[in-house]
Structure 1
Amino acid sequence: MRLRFLTSEVWQGVRRNTSMIASVVLVSMVSLFFVGSGLLAQRQVDQAKGDWYEKVHAFVFLCTDSDTNVASCAGGEASTDQTEAVKSNLDNLRPLVTKVDYKTSEQAIAMFREQYKDSPYVSSVDAKSMPAFYEVRLSDPQRFDEIASGFQGMPGVAHVSNLHQVLAPFFSFLNMLGVGSAIIAGLMVVCSILLMVTTIRQVAFTRRRQVGIMRLVGASSATIYLPFVAEVLIASLAGAVLASGLLWAMVHFGVSGLASSGGGFVNLIGDSDVLVVVPWLFLGAFVLAVSTSWVTLRRYLKV
């Protein structure tokens, strides 16, 4: 088939069915946008877990003068003897406890200010509000309860925290976002398929005379099918372009803006993550358009 003939047929088809083609573009854009959102949400979960989830397993926070409402802190700030007793008990839990790092309140506030130096709230935090703590790494994070039960309520210990528990709501939200995006994307993909089928049937009906002539002159199935497939493919790829632009705008102006304002407790996804997701959107648009149009043509356009 000559390229000139294919281009002419596709262009005429787009002109005759502008509204239907535009509908395919818009529905493809929305469905691929939600597919991309789900993929980006999963990348955010994986990135956040890589940054935090597997690095630190537990914190044993010592008492400060402001923890008088905690029974184990009735005496005020943890004494040297109490601090050493906590360290001794942690050492006795090896090999479950693989590493113990002690941070004073001054070191804790310095770490906080360095990590969140761009946050507007840093200036409102002072050393008195940051307790000294033991950073504990475990050989088996699932055995955190042994640490919690052994140190919670111990004299000089304000509370024991598991970073997994701290970040669990954040990960749950991202997982729910990913699932929600997948469900909406699935529904929109179904809408895209139905709209593509309707579009192809309408285009085939408007070209029934040309198709009949092509049959009479012995044109192959591929020759007859290809203009229809090309129209739907162009519309789907245009939807992928728009969806990619929306995803980039969402991440660049939304997520990256949040990170630059100092709101990032974890490293957030950026433009580079969008570039990783975009090829999958185009691949999905290509496969969906070609497979749907080819199957529809074989069913409704007997050659």
Structure 2
Amino acid sequence: MRLAFIMSELGSGLRRNLTMVISVILVTFVSLTFVGAAGLLQMQIGQLKGFWYDKVQVTIYLCTDIPANSNCVSGPVTPDQKATIEGMLESPAVKPYIENWTFETQEEALAHFREQFANSPMVDSVEAGNLPSSFRIKLDDPEKYQIINETFSATPGVDSVVDQRKVLEKLFSWMNIATYVAMGVAGLMIICAALLIATTIRLSAQSRMREIDIMRLVGASKTVIQLPFVLEGVIAATIGALLASGAVWSIVVFFMGGYLADANTGTPFISAREALVIYPVLILLGVVLAGVASAVSLRKNLKV
């Protein structure tokens, strides 16, 4: 009997406040979509870090005709200086930190440059002599870059020592900023959703004050009176959370797994299966948000 009464009151409330319920659904949908997008971005950052950090190299650029520092004042790197650097790479003090290394000539550097900048008008103006030869080093542990830097930065014939990881860290820092912005917008939208849910439930309760008074007189408990109103907010927010989950799934499958994956074939993107962890979080967040907002609104505005 009580369940039938609660369901009847719930259906009546949803019909009477259909416009407000739709508003709650839409606001919850937008806010939780931002939350889901921020979660996706953070997961993608983690996956890219694991992928690229395993591939990053330390590059030792050798001197060219144009001196860039005191190591290069005597001119381009000499065969003896190059041999000395190779010996240092194979020395017991350095070799344990290195997984492998290769040497790139100026001609090979020019070929790579032309491949990377094939569509640039400057590609024909660059010659092999403008580009430095280099040693490309893959470390066992990328965190040990400083050892290589300290060992080779002052060596004659070395122009500079560059850690590619630092370039990636700048990119990842910008991606982290984007995540924080998305989370900030999501937080504001969640606050808006909570206020809208609270307002909707309060108006729904006030529009049925006569029915509530009758229920008090016949001895209905506080839980029985308030539960239909709470369920209104929970149902609306759950629908919004389900729509947000669908939007996040679409982003993963069609945008990240489709458009971005096709345009960046060498880059790994998170799959729909990996993103499954986000969907229950969004639904749970929607239910908790609606339940708390509804309960607080009823406690403050509906004295039972």
Partners of 2:292 and 2:135 in 1: CA distance: 59
Q: Which amino acid aligns with 1:52?
A: W
Secondary structure of 2:273's counterpart equals helix
Match of 1:116 in 2: none
Change (3 A) 1:34 1:285: same
Q: Deviations over 1:79-131 (max 9, x none)?
A: 5x55542232234473695224123559xx9xxx9xxxxxxx78959xx8996
1:209-228 maps to which residues of 2 (within 5 A)?
209-228=210-229
Q: Which stretch of the first structure deviates more once superposed, 198-207 or 85-94? A: 85-94
Q: Deviations over 1:118-145 (max 9, x none)?
A: xxx78959xx89966332326572x534
Change (3 A) 1:226 1:130: farther
Match of 1:275 in 2: 276
1:1-303 maps to which residues of 2 (within 5 A)?
2-53=2-53, 55=54, 58-61=57-60, 69=66, 75=76, 79=79, 82-92=81-91, 94=93, 97-103=96-102, 133-137=135-139, 141=143, 144-152=145-153, 154=155, 157=158, 159-256=160-257, 257-262=259-264, 266-303=267-304
Q: Which stretch of the first structure deviates more once superposed, 175-184 or 44-53? A: 44-53
Change (3 A) 1:294 1:82: same
Change (3 A) 1:131 1:203: farther
Secondary structure of 1:48's counterpart equals helix
Q: Say whether the 8 Å CA contact 1:40–1:273 is kept in structure 2.
A: no
Q: Say whether the 8 Å CA contact 1:47–1:267 is kept in structure 2.
A: yes
Change (3 A) 1:63 1:13: same
The unaligned stretches of length 5 or more in structure 2 are 120-127
The unaligned stretches of length 5 or more in structure 1 are 114-120
Q: Which amino acid aligns with 1:238?
A: I
Q: Say whether the 8 Å CA contact 1:61–1:133 is kept in structure 2.
A: yes
Report the TM-score, using the length of structure 2 for normalisation: 0.79
Change (3 A) 1:96 1:293: farther
Report how far residue 151 of structure 1 moved. 2.7
Report how far residue 282 of structure 1 moved. 0.5
Q: Say whether the 8 Å CA contact 1:45–1:171 is kept in structure 2.
A: yes
- How many residue pairs get aligned? The number is 284
Q: Say whether the 8 Å CA contact 1:96–1:140 is kept in structure 2.
A: no
Q: Which amino acid aligns with 2:261?
A: A
Q: Say whether the 8 Å CA contact 2:67–2:75 is kept in structure 1.
A: yes
Report how far residue 194 of structure 1 moved. 1.0
Partners of 1:131 and 1:210 in 2: CA distance: 85
Give the aligned CA root-mean-square deviation in angstroms.
Answer: 3.4
Report how far residue 271 of structure 1 moved. 1.8
Q: Say whether the 8 Å CA contact 1:97–1:139 is kept in structure 2.
A: no
Q: Deviations over 1:181-240 (max 9, x none)?
A: 111111111111111111011000111111111111111111111111111011101111
Match of 1:117 in 2: none
Q: Which amino acid aligns with 2:58?
A: F
Partners of 1:140 and 1:252 in 2: CA distance: 32
Partners of 1:96 and 1:285 in 2: CA distance: 55
Secondary structure of 2:268's counterpart equals coil
Q: Which amino acid aligns with 1:213?
A: I
